[in-house]
Structure 1
Amino acid sequence: MEHRHLGRSGLLVSVVTYGNWLTHGESVAREAALSCVRAALEAGITTFDTADVYARGAAEELLGEALRGVRRESVEIATKVCLPVGDGPNDRGLSRKHVIESCHASLRRLGTDYVDLYQAHRYDDRTPLAETLLAFEDLVRQGKVRYLGVSEWTAAQIRSALDVADQLGIRNRIVSNQPQYNMLWRVVEPEVVPLCVREGIGQIAFQPLAQGVLTGKYRPGEAPPPGSRATSAGRAPTFIRRVLGEPLLERVQRLRPVADQAGLSMAQLAVAWTLHRPGVSTALIGASRPEQVTENVGAAGVRLDDEVLRRVDETLGDLVETDRTKTARMMAVKPDWAG
């Protein structure tokens, strides 16, 4: 397993991160979830990502259970705060109250004294940035958080956070951003990635497989295969159906000979492509079965030549989304905190 620095920080992360959105505590049974984490550890993955909102806290609990007995210093645990975790007026957002209370709750569920990376899950335009950043700074000083990150923030929002941190003399600046990023969804490339590269902020790219679409298992004109995310329990089918469409599925199938040329499975090609992009520190994968973890880890250390990259772009063509405004339009937290 290859490791990279998270941005310009000193923290090393495995180039493949194991995450449990839509799986642990929701669509994957407990024993299967524990087996996937064991497979990740056996494959050399040391970085694990979750969030307080995933499965209403059950995802953090399962990850904590799966890592019990593992030497704490040998893994990097990341979690997030912002999205609603209850019905109370302060059970959401990035206020000082919610950030600190949510951190303590996450630590209890994970069964650890600290998290290596604490991320603002979305931007909160109802709370002053200074309040949020000072709350994060206090958690770092208390030893409960090692590094700070954000997820799905626009370039302007990240720039504002860096400027406010400088004005306040905060030394623990943002070191990571976690955006959706894959062959099909590249909206962070025009503005977010260039800013982050300049400022030493690493990308933790989630959905490198585009909800499994880039594995090629969803075929045009056919029902989703049994056991796939599109047929699972929980919210997963709702998310995957947003990206299923005949023209897209037909185009993705044309990537199969490209993967064959590179000696990779389609899943490995997709993960390797993401890891090849500038500024990406790690690609975040999920899994419902241990063999999926093992396959995806096969992308670690793969080098794609220019011909393969060219064929990917030519094959996907106008289906690639690069509209920079969609980061803001689709990912900002709505006033009613829906979605």
Structure 2
Amino acid sequence: MEHRHLGRTGLRVSRLGLGTLTWGRNTGERDAADQLKTFWNAGGSLVDTADVYADGGAEYLLGRLIEDLVPRSDLVIATKAGSVPDPDRRFDTSRGHLLSALDASLQRLGTDYVDLWQVHAFDPGTPLDETLQALDIAVSSGRARYVGVSNFCGWQLAKAATWQLAGSGRTALASTQMEYSLLQRGVEREVLPAALDLGIGLLPSSPLGRGVLTGKYRGGTPQDSRGGSEDMAPFVAPYLDDTAALIVDALAIAADGLAVAPLHVALAWVRDRPGVAAPLLGARNAQQLAAALSVEALTLPDEIRQALDDVSAPLHRYPDHDWSTL
């Protein structure tokens, strides 16, 4: 698998990453082990997790597999902190909470350091400079090699990155993790331009539109899919509207023309967008993951890429439109 630099850093990551959102919850140890081995055998290196995935279970499971299955040195391990696992889904990015969370993550992962440590979301209740100081401490103490953020809007990302670049001894942000796919292109308005300007690599989550871009929902909702499960149905539902259906139909036509699966076209489109470092893949089993990883050989023809751009283009008005026409 081809590898890329993460933003304007020396860290190289596989251009497809492995996500672990369901590990320790819907994905057991055997399936997780099969996925990790499949990913590693394909040349993948970037594995993304978080301290709140399965209340720490995903990190613990990944740590067990690193010990028994895949050499630690072959992986780029990324985790996140700052999301508090309670019914209100609140965030705490205070220095104390973040550093304690990092220590707990390292213990569950069974490693002395993570390659990439990310703030899970913006916390309006904590001064941003305090949050960023925790990132500096993590790097200076050797507990993290690189740092990034997740779910920061455009101004939040630009403010954080500029603060880090403005002072000596601060660690520049390497990445931002955001949902990005043919069904969700909101990051193109402000987040992606900021990331490109500031040298920050984008790690797209849900690059297959929460599974909808595989085409599996065109004839209804399969009972064994996320959309058919009680806990994940609300996660998928926003992408089952008429607008999404038009995009999925266009994707299917493109896939037929290229003699590949719709998921390959969708992945190739987001993988090769400007500023993207590595889309993060979440799979139910190793067979699903292997099918997605086979996109490595596909590059979309310009005319197909442009057609998909057009059919999925988000509507941006003020202040993005051309004022010269007024």
Distance 1:75 1:49, change over 3 A: same
Deviations 1:182-237 (A, max 9, x none): 012111112211221121100001111001100001124x2x2232222346x322
Q: 1:98 Cα deviation (Å)?
A: 0.5
Contact 2:39-2:290 within 8 A present in 1 as well: yes
Correspondences of 1:98-117 after superposition (within 5 Å): 98-117=97-116
The separation in 2 between residues aligned to 1:263 and 1:126, in whole angstroms, is: 51
Residue identity opposite 1:206 in structure 2: S
Distance 2:317 2:209 in 1: 18
SS at match of 2:209: coil
Q: 1:245 Cα shift?
A: 2.8
Displacement of 1:248 after TM fit?
2.6
- Which AA in structure 2 matches 1:5? H
User: Displacement, 1:167?
Assistant: 4.1
Q: Deviations over 1:242-282 (max 9, x none)?
A: 32235533541342120122332111111100011100010
Match of 1:56 in 2: 55
Q: How has the CA–CA distance of structure 1 residues 80 and 323 changed in structure 2, closer, same or farther, with 3 Å as cutoff?
A: farther
Does the C-alpha gap of structure 1 residues 136 and 324 become closer, same or farther in structure 2, counting only changes over 3 Å? farther
Cα pair 2:207 2:279 within 8 Å, conserved: yes
Ranges in structure 1 where 5+ consecutive residues have no aligned partner: 326-339
Structure 1 residue aligned with 2:224: 227
Give the corresponding residue for 1:152. 151
**Residue correspondences, number:** 316
In structure 1, distance between residues paired with 2:61 and 2:154 = 33
Provide the C-alpha distance between the structure 1 equivalents of 2:243 and 2:86, rounded to a whole number of angstroms.
Answer: 39
CA distance in 1, matches of 2:317, 2:185: 8
Percent identity (aligned): 38
Residues 168 and 324 of structure 1: CA distance in aligned 2, closer, same or farther (over 3 Å):
farther
1:16 to 1:166, Cα distance in 2 relative to 1, 3 A: closer
Q: Is the 8 A contact 1:187 1:323 kept in 2?
A: no
Letter in 2 for 1:293: L
Question: 2: CA distance between counterparts of 1:176 and 1:40?
Answer: 21
Q: Cα distance, 1:126 vs. partner? A: 1.2
* Equivalent residue, structure 1, for 2:174: 175
Distance 1:101 1:185 in 2: 33
| Residue 283 of structure 1, aligned match among 279, 284, 287 | 279
Aligned residues: CA RMSD: 2.1
Paired AA for residue 44 in structure 2: I
Matched, 1:248 2:244: yes
The gaps in structure 2 that reach 5 residues or longer are 319-326
Question: For 2:243 and 2:152, how far apart are their aligned partners in 1?
Answer: 30
In structure 2, the CA distance between the partners of 1:160 and 1:4, relative to structure 1 (3 Å rule), is same
Whole-angstrom distance in 2 between the partners of 1:207 and 1:276: 15
Tell me the residue number matched to 1:261: 257
Q: Which has the higher contact order (CA 8 A, sep 6+)?
A: 1
Gap change, CA 1:190 and 1:254, over 3 Å in 2? closer
CA contact (8 A) 1:202 1:281 kept: yes
**Structure 2 letter corresponding to 1:230:** G
